[in-house]
Amino acid sequence: MENNEKTHFGYSDVTPKEKTQRVRQVFESVADNYDVMNDLMSFGLHRVWKKFALQIAAVRPKQTVLDLAGGTGDLAAALKKSVGPMGQVILCDINASMLEVGRERMIDRGLMNNLHYIQANAENLPFADNSFDCITMAFGLRNVTYKEKCLASAYAKLKPGGKFLVLEFSKPNALLTPAYDMYSFSILPRLGQWVAKDADSYQYLAESIRMHPDQETLKQMFSDAGFDRCHYVNMTGGIVAAHIGYKY
């Protein structure tokens, strides 16, 4: 890559290395309050979005599942129930602070059996090809520097017939956009300052959502990475979308 290559960190232009460092700093800052903030800033809707995404994933007993950008482990815990005692879930995140918070919570809940943790970059997953029946990624793709590399790596690690499901903030419909923008840029950073003592990280959150590819663009990116039957399902007027692609 050229030394002068730029990418975006929210609305700022930064080098890829700077983005990786700054994203890591964001999640180190918010790790301890991450789940509380998710409930507050989404009015609890993130739980509904994830529950619906799990229905789409349709993970079955005995399957092997990889949860990318798994953070504090709420999605991984639900996936673990779906695969049962003969299945396996691997929670993968690039951020050590998020993994540590998630691991401690899973230990407290007695959910560590057949649930494994690994710190790794989603752009270059350290697993053998054709390893997973399903790969999930909830609210993490927008933080990846090279999204095309993440999609390609996920495709390689899926078994033939496997499914990749990405749950991510997206572009809402025109009716919701004015109120959504007001909330994102006027209220959300203040909420972050009040609860997490960190307004900047939640300002970045609002900006990163606007810089993320919209539904049709991400669908095409799935297709370009080799996935078949690519489609998406909008939730809450398009504020969030679940993207699905299959490997055949």
Q: Are 38 and 101 in contact (CB under 8 A)?
A: no
Choosing among 3.40.50.880, 3.40.190.10, 3.40.50.150, 2.40.440.10, the CATH entry for 7-246 is 3.40.50.150
- Say which residue the tokens 């299959």 belong to: 246
Q: Please write down the long-range contacts of 79-84, taking CB distance under 8 Å and 24 or more positions apart.
A: 79/54, 79/136, 80/111, 80/114, 80/115, 82/54, 82/57, 83/59, 83/114
Q: What is the pLDDT of residue 52?
A: 93
Which residue ranges make up each domain of the chain? 7-246
Q: What is the pLDDT of residue 2?
A: 47
The 10 Å Cβ neighbour count of residue 210 is: 16
- Say which residue the tokens 């017939």 belong to: 161
Q: What is the pLDDT of residue 48?
A: 94
pTM: 0.89
The 10s digit of each residue's pLDDT in 123-171 is 999 999 999 999 999 999 999 999 999 999 999 999 999 999 999 999 9
Point out the residues of the chain with pLDDT beneath 70: 1-3
Q: What is the pLDDT of residue 1?
A: 44
